[in-house]
Amino acid sequence: MESKSASSSDSEDDYKQSSNSDCNDSKQTSSQDSPASLDPHEVIRLTSEYFYLEDDLSETISDFITSPSNLDPFRLAFESSSSSSPPPEFPLECHSIYTSYLSLMESSLLEFITSLSLTMSQFVEALSSVQEGIENGEFIATGFSTLCKFESYVEMVRMFVENGVEPCFVPPLVGEDGRLEYE
């Protein structure tokens, strides 16, 4: 009987060692193969493509802006002010629409970051680590930040209301002084 319990104990130990080594192997594999180890330049390239080349984000924003329920309150505010007067006072409803737009932008960005299998902090770290060249993390972060400003949102809506121009994203230009230019 003792030999049975000894062999039973041995097989339990073998099983534990086997499962622990399997877990350790899978941890090593996942950390080596995980996209979290993406090169920061690759993260920036993929993010630039997402913002400037893929249609998903621009279509999402365009659909939101051109929706009558989101557009009409701004249209009324634009129509109530003349072109020579200062920018219109926007009703509270416009702020609520803008807040919904920010939520949409945040969820779109988080969905993209998740598709790279990165956390927000890993994404920010990747953007922060590349500061040289025309495609760097500051350009992307500044571009996204600009896209989320109330003034930028209002300008996209105004361009659509007055000229029928759908929202589009243009990468910022670099001025002679090396600073970002948006106009």
pLDDT tens profile 90-102? 889 999 999 999 9
Q: Is 45 found in the same domain as 134?
A: yes
Q: What is the pLDDT of residues 70-83, one digit of tens each?
A: 999 999 888 887 66
Together in a domain, 98 and 66: yes
Residue 66 lies in a domain: yes
pLDDT band at residue 174 using 50, 70 and 90 as cut-offs: low
- 181 part of a folded domain: no
Residue 168 sits in the same domain as residue 109: yes
- CATH code, domain carrying 157: 1.20.1520
| Contact indicator for 123, 46 with CB cutoff of 8 Å | no
- The answer to whether residue 182 sits within a structural domain is no
Residue 123 lies in domain? 39-172
Q: What is the pLDDT of residues 114-149, one digit of tens each?
A: 999 999 999 988 888 877 765 667 777 777 887 888
In a domain, 178, yes or no: no
Q: Is the pLDDT of residue 150 over 70?
A: yes
Q: Do 131 and 160 sit in the same domain of this protein?
A: yes
Whether residue 117 is found in the same domain as residue 54:
yes
